[in-house]
Each structure stands twice: as structure tokens, then as C-alpha cells.
Amino acid sequence: MQIGYVTDDIDAAASYLESKFGTIECVKHFKSSLGRGNPDAAPGSFVVVDGVTAEEWLIDVALVNAGATNLEIIRPLGGAVDLYRGAIRPGVPATVHHLGFRIDDFDAASEVVAASGMTWKQFGRSGDVRFGYLDATATLGHFIEVMELGPEGAGMFAGLQAASNAARP
């Protein structure tokens, strides 16, 4: 399970989680880009927002686990990132943006989404992680993210959980 937050100050949000909730130090990834115009993106990485492949999509990300629960903090920087920017509450450390769930088969999830008459608000691939966001803000107050993890992505999340567990008394 993942709880995703958005912020306009990633350092303040990470410090808040670390000091108020006792998480270990957040792992930060600055200028994470999935836009088609990024030559440094992992091969095959892309993001589609509202049905259009993004040319620019740039965020800062901080990740940490509290036991089995992954906490993600996103600071939108540029490009097609209004999905994150629109939820920010200036002056507060972070705002809940999405709940994320791991799935085994993104294609099967996409079929369920289509059969229900819904569409992905945003979907894409980052390395070996396939992800999609459903807009449930009108009914639930947040987005829902699903993620199919390949070996590299699963290893990264397992490492975050192991670090969190090792730091617990």
C-alpha cells in the first residue's frame, strides 16, 4: 500500500514525516522525468495525461516506508503535472493525493477500467513499473494509483521496507 502526498516544498514535507511521524530519512529523487523529450529517461519510459503523451513531465519525489506502508511525496516541477499541482495546499507540509495499490497485471486492470466506463487520468511506465491513476476526487477525495512492479521496482520498494523495519526497535 502506498499513501501519496503532494507538496510545494519537498524538503519541508520530508522533514515533517521524519520528525513528527518518526520515519527514517526519506530517499529523494530530484527531477524525475518521464516526458518524451527527456533523453535521460529509462528506455521505454513515458507518461500519458488525459489521453495525450506528455512531452514534458517533471517532478521531485521522496520515498520512505513506515513498516509495510510506502509514503511518497511528490513536488510537481514542470510540464503535464497539473494532476499533482492542483491538490497542493500552500503553507502546509503535505496533502494526501492518492492511495496506491500493487497489482499483478496492468493490462487486466486496464480492461476492468474500460469495462467500468472509466479512463486513466494518467498512465505510463517508469523503468519496469507500469502505473495508472484513476480520478476519484469527486467521490473519494483522492486519486487511486495502481502499479505493476517489475523486478527492479519490486526490489526498490522491498529495500525501502527493509530499511524501515531495520530502524524499528
Encode pLDDT of 32-89 as tens digits.
888 765 556 666 789 999 999 999 999 999 999 888 899 999 999 999 999 999 999 9
CA quadruple 168, 102, 37, 120: dihedral positive or negative?
negative
pLDDT, tens digit (0-9, with 9 covering 90-100), for 108-132: 999 999 999 999 999 999 989 999 9
Cα torsion 49, 9, 137, 126: sign: positive
Contact (Cβ atoms closer than 8 angstroms) between residue 120 and residue 48: yes
Q: Say if residues 5 and 94 touch (Cβ distance below 8 Å).
A: yes
Q: What is the pTM of this model?
A: 0.92
Q: Which CB contacts under 8 angstroms, 24+ apart, belong to 12-20?
A: 12/93, 13/62, 13/73, 13/75, 13/93, 13/94, 14/62, 14/64, 14/73, 15/93, 16/93, 16/94, 17/64, 17/71, 17/73, 17/93, 17/94, 18/64
pLDDT band at 24 (very low <50, low <70, confident <90, very high): confident
Classify the C-alpha dihedral 8-71-55-43 as positive or negative: positive
**Interacting residues of 45 by C-beta distance below 8 A, sequence separation 6+:** 34, 124, 125, 126, 127
**The three three-digit cell numbers of residue 63, written as one number:** 520515498
Q: Report the pLDDT value the prediction gives residue 40, as an integer from 0 to 100.
A: 60
* Mean pLDDT computed over every residue of the chain: 91
Domains and CATH numbers, the chain: 2-164 (3.10.180.10)
**pLDDT tens, residue by residue, 122-162:** 999 998 999 999 999 999 999 999 999 999 999 999 998 88
- Which helix or strand (DSSP H or E) is residue 39 part of? none
